Amino acid sequence: MSTSLAPESVVLDLGAGLGIHGLLAAQLGAKRVYLVEPEDIIAVAGQISQANGYGERVKCLQGVIEEVNLPEPVDVIISIIGMAIDVNRNETLQIHVVPPMNVEIFLQ
């Protein structure tokens, strides 16, 4: 992930849960990180980001991505879930899919 982040990077952690991957992006220098999670655990993610000093750069948004309005375009998406994204931008978007630990991935 560090090779995809620059100081001006805006990151979306999709299906954030406790926000661990988003916090890592903040620690690596992302300008802003949006944690998006439909479950109530997002409140705990907010507490964790505040406790670790990232409250200004890490924003927690509760809801499904189809219903959440991000206040700005993102440069990097981090997700542990499979997804299809319709990106209407002329820029390259970095997408990092973090697979769950108990899943094997086979490529053809």
In the chain, the domains with their CATH numbers are: 10-97 (3.40.50.150)
In the predicted model, what is the mean pLDDT of residues 73-81?
82
Is residue 47 predicted with pLDDT exceeding 90? yes
pTM beyond cutoff 0.85: no
- 32 or 102, greater pLDDT: 32
Is residue 103 predicted with pLDDT exceeding 60? no
Give the separation between CA 4 and CA 103, rounded to whole angstroms.
24
- 100 or 59, greater pLDDT: 59
- 97 or 7, greater pLDDT: 7
For helices 20-27 and 42-51, the axis angle rounded to 10 degrees is: 30
Which residue has tokens 């700005």? 72
